[in-house]
């Protein structure tokens, strides 16, 4: 997560022109600007300056879980238990050892209470502890109830998505047709597919809009995890699992097929049929991936 922009992947057998959307992590609903919550914006009088600075820094990066550096824990509104973060909750509550009917995800926008990690005071969601005053997360989104001391992720809240994302708002734009934030590098060059991100990955079936792993747009406009696409390639699959269009520019490969087919005449009974032992070419788009049924 977190790397920005178009990433051409490792050298493959041929050039691929798929594009990395850099889907990022995101958190909770509903839309609302988080600008006023950005840390470090409060103007401080010089007398208080040292104190405020101290509260910003005390315990900074020392608390949290494997998912976030933060100085508070949350009370899950669903089961009324305390967790480091919503991912910790969801992992614990969807464990295979938990009775199926008790498994659940946290309704993250309904989180109301947090517990300061420094003084233990339980309180309503806010950036600074009402008791000890410590900043509980340098990045704070009141809409998403998201706290994170690791601001190197360049979190921002997208009101179009209704959630916080990472990678820096200057590097992304919200495409209202696709319904998702894409790298600004794709602004005039990505194929728009209505609700492109609001689907499961065709390989692993994770819901892409909420995925914390990088997502890529294939040339057909369908979306897929970057890692799942790479896995497909490792197994020599180069077509979109949804529409079977090529996931990269395969014209060089098709040329090879053309040559090989021309050099391999079919037995008489197959001639004039749209079938060849070597491969089958789509008469419409000249691709050998697109199969018509
Ligand atoms: Zn719960
Ligand atoms: Zn966690
Ligand atoms: Zn406190
Ligand atoms: Zn947010
Ligand atoms: Zn967005
Ligand atoms: Zn779009
Ligand atoms: Zn996947
Ligand atoms: Zn497709």
Q: What are phi and psi of 148, to 5 degrees?
A: -155, 125
Q: What is the pLDDT, as a whole number, of residue 113?
A: 98
CA of 215 to the centre of ligand 7 (A): 8
Parallel, antiparallel or unpaired: strands 172-175 and 180-183? antiparallel
Q: What is the pLDDT, as a whole number, of residue 199?
A: 87
Q: Are 215 and 224 a contacting pair, CB within 8 Å?
A: yes
Question: Which residues are near ligand 7, the ion (C-beta closer than 5 Å)?
Answer: 201, 203-204, 225, 228
Question: Which residues are near ligand 6, the ion (C-beta closer than 5 Å)?
Answer: 175, 177-178, 192
Q: What are phi and psi of 17, to 5 degrees?
A: -120, 30
Q: Are 223 and 199 a contacting pair, CB within 8 Å?
A: yes
Q: Of the ligands numbered here, which is closest to the C-alpha atom of 87?
A: 2
CA of 259 to the centre of ligand 8 (A): 27
Longest dimension (CA), the chain: 94
For the record, the structure tokens of 260 come out as: 């090989």
Rounded-to-integer distance, Cα 226 and Cα 108, Å: 26
Question: Which residues are near ligand 8, the ion (C-beta closer than 5 Å)?
Answer: 220, 222, 240, 242-243
pLDDT mean values, one per 10 residues, the chain (293 residues): 34 38 39 33 52 88 96 97 96 94 92 97 98 97 96 94 92 90 84 86 91 85 91 89 81 70 67 55 56 40
CA of 104 to the centre of ligand 3 (A): 29
CA of 161 to the centre of ligand 4 (A): 9
Rounded-to-integer distance, Cα 81 and Cα 185, Å: 43
Q: What is the pLDDT, as a whole number, of residue 278?
A: 52
Cα–Cα distances (Å) from 91 to 32, 66, 83, 103, in that order, read 28, 12, 11, 10
- Residue in the structure block whose two tokens are 């509903």: 30
Nearest to 185 by CA among 165, 167, 159, 209: 167
Q: What are phi and psi of 215, to 5 degrees?
A: -120, 145
CA of 180 to the centre of ligand 8 (A): 17
- What are the structural domain ranges in the chain? 1-24+173-237, 35-157, 250-293
Rounded-to-integer distance, Cα 222 and Cα 130, Å: 47
CA of 221 to the centre of ligand 8 (A): 6
How distant is the alpha carbon of residue 106 from its chain centre? 19
CA dihedral over 84, 85, 87, 92, signed as positive or negative:
positive
CA of 270 to the centre of ligand 2 (A): 61
Q: What are phi and psi of 74, to 5 degrees?
A: -115, 150
CA of 163 to the centre of ligand 2 (A): 18
Which residues are CB-neighbours of 163 under 8 A, at least 6 positions away?
Answer: 26, 27, 28, 29, 144, 157
First to last CA, the chain: 38
């Amino acid at each position: 997560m977190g790397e920005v922009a178009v990433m051409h992947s490792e050298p493959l057998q041929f050039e691929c022109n798929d594009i990395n959307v850099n889907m990022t992590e995101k958190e909770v609903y509903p839309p609302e600007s988080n600008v006023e919550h950005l840390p470090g914006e409060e103007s401080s009088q010089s007398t208080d300056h040292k104190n405020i600075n101290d509260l910003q820094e005390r315990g900074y990066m020392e608390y949290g879980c494997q998912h976030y550096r933060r100085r508070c824990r949350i009370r899950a509104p669903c089961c009324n238990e305390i967790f480091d973060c919503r991912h910790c909750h969801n992992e614990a509550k969807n464990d295979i050892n938990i009775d199926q009917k008790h498994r659940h995800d946290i309704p993250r926008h309904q989180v109301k209470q947090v517990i300061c990690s420094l003084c233990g005071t339980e309180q309503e969601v806010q950036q600074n502890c009402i008791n000890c005053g410590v900043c509980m997360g340098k990045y704070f989104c009141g809409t998403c109830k998201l706290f994170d001391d690791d601001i190197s992720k360049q979190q921002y809240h997208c009101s179009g998505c209704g959630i916080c994302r990472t990678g820096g708002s200057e590097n992304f734009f919200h495409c209202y047709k696709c319904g998702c934030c894409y790298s600004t590098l794709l602004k005039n060059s990505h194929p728009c597919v209505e609700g492109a991100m609001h689907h499961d990955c065709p390989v692993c079936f994770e819901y892409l809009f909420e995925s914390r792993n990088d997502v890529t747009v294939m040339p057909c406009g369908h979306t897929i995890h970057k890692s799942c696409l790479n896995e497909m390639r490792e197994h020599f699959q180069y077509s979109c699992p949804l529409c079977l269009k090529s996931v990269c520019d395969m014209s060089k490969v098709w040329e090879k097929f053309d040559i090989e087919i021309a050099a391999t005449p079919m037995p008489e009974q197959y001639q004039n049929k749209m079938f060849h032992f070597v491969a089958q070419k789509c008469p419409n788009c000249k691709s050998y991936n697109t199969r018509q049924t």
